[in-house]
Amino acid sequence: MDGQEALPSLPPPPLPQLTSQNPPYLFTPSLLPSSSLHPSIIEPQVLPDIDWVGLLSGQSGLGENRPIMESASMVAENGAEEEKGNKDKKKGGRMKKATRPRFAFQTRSADDILDDGFRWRKYGQKAVKNSKYPRSYYRCTHHTCNVKKQVQRLSKDTSIVVTTYEGIHNHPCEKLMETLTPLLKQMQFLARF
């Protein structure tokens, strides 16, 4: 069925607060609605039923209906786990059930690919049943980062793109850093006076 296409349109939930428990780069501009990085996005929508608190704290979700989001039990995303995990998998196919957090949101956009500040490499595209449009698979190009995302346009409402993120970035957003670095330098310079 087209589970992803039956997503209700609800206002985005409150954004999670970063605490000392959370990885420093857990939520980046990619998840911030109305981010200035996304001029083309008119109506960002975070999927409902996402247990942000659980997601962040490592506890499992509460929602009963989770159209896209999988269980949010957090696996150690950083460091050794990812590289070694990759060795277990053979060519193609699903590996062990992903236990990494997944979250998705809809955006109303003419572009399938929205610029979320990270660099992504496309590694696959697949036609999906009950959908006119193919689903595209992307992986974060950062060496140590194993985050993936899927992008799919709804066939019911072709102006809506569903983006599903899987995993958590363990590095800063490049674009954000590019923007902030000169500002920081300038501030440091001015602070000397």
Partner DNA sequence: CGATTTTGACCTGCGC
Partner DNA sequence: GCGCAGGTCAAAATCG
Work out how close the CB of 40 gets to DNA at its nearest, in angstroms, rounded to a whole number.
Answer: 16
Classify the phi-psi angles of 34: left when phi > 0, otherwise alpha if psi is within -120 to 50, otherwise beta: left
CB of 94 to DNA, least distance (A): 4
Give the binding range for DNA (CB under 7 A) out of 29-37, 51-59, 86-94, 153-161. Answer: 86-94
Handedness of CA 84, 169, 182, 44 (dihedral sign): positive
Q: Which of 137, 145, 153, 169 binds DNA (CB under 7 A)?
A: 137
**Residue with token string 């599903």:** 164
CA distance 57 to 86: 25
Q: CA–CA distance from 1 to each of 4, 5, 76, 90 (Å)?
A: 8, 9, 32, 28
Contact stretch for DNA (CB under 7 A) within 13-21, 55-63, 92-100, 169-177: 92-100
By CB under 7 A, residue 94 contacts DNA: yes
With binding defined as CB under 7 A, does residue 182 bind DNA?
no
CB of 127 to DNA, least distance (A): 7
One residue of 40, 125, 181, 186 binding DNA per CB under 7 A = 125
Residue 81's SS3 state is: helix
The 142-171 site mask, x for binding DNA (CB under 7 A), equals ------x-x---------------------
Which whole-number Å values give the CA distances from 42 to 73, 89, 92, in the listed order? 31, 39, 36
Binding site for DNA (CB under 7 A): 86, 89-97, 119-130, 135, 137-138, 141, 148, 150
